[in-house]
Amino acid sequence: MNSHRVPQSDNAAPAADADAANRFERAIALKSEGLYSDALQCLRALAQETPGDAELHHQIGLILGFSGEFEGSLAELRHSVELSPSNTLVRNDLALTYTMLGMYDEARVEFANVLEHDRENQVAIRNLQYFH
């Protein structure tokens, strides 16, 4: 959860990309400070500008989960997986959220999906052991 890819717009000018990168980093700083509402506001504004950016939806999903908005968290994390199916970090976060909510069948499927992309993924391996 510490690796953040800065959102990019395919058609944005370099100055606009720099602005988006600065706003993204600001949102992550707000999240780290526990200012979830402010971070969500920044991330949602960025997501309106670049709706297909998986990392924005990933971060929104994490913040919603931290805030106890689990239905919204799952929706955002699932959307992020749809946008970036091979992103094992997002898939692990989705699986961990499922686990936390007692949705063990869904968690098992997501951890297995992680291993399809990365057979050595220790998060998935470690967590799948709990289901055997």
| Confidence at residue 4, expressed as pLDDT on a 0 to 100 scale | 56
Domain with 110, as residue range(s), is 85-132
61 & 97 share domain: no
For residue 42, pLDDT over 80 is answered with: yes
Residues 89 and 64 in one domain: no
- The answer to whether residue 77 is domain-embedded is no
pLDDT of residue 12: 43
Contact 120, 108 (CB under 8 A): no
- Name the pTM for this structure: 0.87
What is residue 67's predicted lDDT score, i.e. its pLDDT? Answer: 96
pLDDT digits (tens, 9 = 90+) for 45-91: 999 999 999 999 999 999 999 999 999 999 999 999 999 999 999 99
Cα–Cα distance for residue pair 69/126, rounded to 1 Å? 26
Instruction: Name the domain count of the chain.
Output: 2
Asked whether residue 27 is domain-assigned, the answer is: yes
- Cβ neighbours for 9, distance < 8 A, ≥ 6 positions apart: 16, 17, 20, 49, 50
